[in-house]
Amino acid sequence: MNWSKVKTIAIVVFAALVLFLAVKYLNLLPKEESLTDKQIKTAQNILAQNSIKLSCTIDKKIYYVSKLNVKTESAYDNVLIKLFGKRVDKYQKEFESSIYHLKIVNQTLFLESKYSQDPFELFDINKSDYIKDYDGSYIQVYKGYPIFDGKLKIQKQKNTTLYIFTKVIPQGFEFKRSRAISALEAIFNLLNQQKNIKEIQNIKFGYYLKDFNVIQGQAVPVWRIVADGEVYYINGFTGMLE
């Protein structure tokens, strides 16, 4: 047997297989797509004709995304240990020390402190993992996408500072991506499902875990829309109100 020839054939077959897999993988990657200025202008005119004010910039991008696997279990262990000591019972729902008073309600931390502190140092989180939201609070981000369940709010009170903190632990995206509806589709879907809206104040694409009390689950891509001071989540795949 000519082993040199066999080796050459094997290399060629392997290279062809790699090329085939690469093509299949590239077909799963998102395609560049975006709304046009004309589409946005038309939508603005339709809204204006129906006495609906558009007070925000429209994201032109069409997103090709998948669901995001997340968990919430043990998300606050390091915070409890840091503030209340290693022997703290993590299954408690309320803690107190000479400086802090902490309550955990529906996986949300309400931490009252006698001193104003850097919230990122206080909760041992990276500032680069958060972005400023429209209302001055912070939202957790993962690989550039906001996770709307992950929030950090700071409220100055008379003698204390209240920190309201929720956190999820991302576990990675599902492999195959699908096309999400556009920002304009999300707005008109909301208007079809929620009547008498007068003003669209903010719209942002990201992820939302509908049941935040689950230990682990999947966050779905959504368009978060702030309208008339209320917050709505439109499913990025189905177009339905969450």
pTM over 0.85: no
The runs of H, that is alpha helices, within 50-182 are 77-84, 119-122
- Integer Cα distance of 203 and 176 in angstroms: 25
The arithmetic mean of pLDDT across residues 32-36, rounded, is 84
| Higher-pLDDT residue of 75, 18 | 75
53-54 and 199-208 beta bridge pairing: parallel
pLDDT in tens, 116-145: 999 999 999 999 999 999 999 999 999 999
Asked if 174 and 67 count as a contact pair (C-beta separation under 8 A), the reply is yes
Sign of the C-alpha dihedral computed for residues 174, 179, 182 and 185 taken in this order: negative
- Integer Cα distance of 188 and 115 in angstroms: 45
Lowest mean pLDDT of 29-33, 120-124, 213-217, name the range. 29-33
- Smallest CA-to-CA distance from 237 within 197, 177, 152, 159 is with 177
Asked if 55 and 197 count as a contact pair (C-beta separation under 8 A), the reply is no
Query: pLDDT at position 51, please?
Result: 93
Q: In the chain, what are the domains?
A: 31-68+173-235 (2.40.128), 73-167 (no CATH)
The runs of H, that is alpha helices, within the chain are 3-28, 37-49, 77-84, 119-122, 183-193
pLDDT in tens, 157-195: 888 999 999 999 999 999 889 999 999 999 999 999 998
* pLDDT category of residue 210 using cuts at 50, 70 and 90: confident
The arithmetic mean of pLDDT across residues 53-62, rounded, is 95
Lowest mean pLDDT of 79-88, 103-112, 227-236, name the range. 79-88
Mean pLDDT rounded to a whole number for the chain: 85
Asked if 175 and 66 count as a contact pair (C-beta separation under 8 A), the reply is yes
- Integer Cα distance of 175 and 168 in angstroms: 20
| Higher-pLDDT residue of 214, 238 | 238
Longest Cα separation, the chain: 88
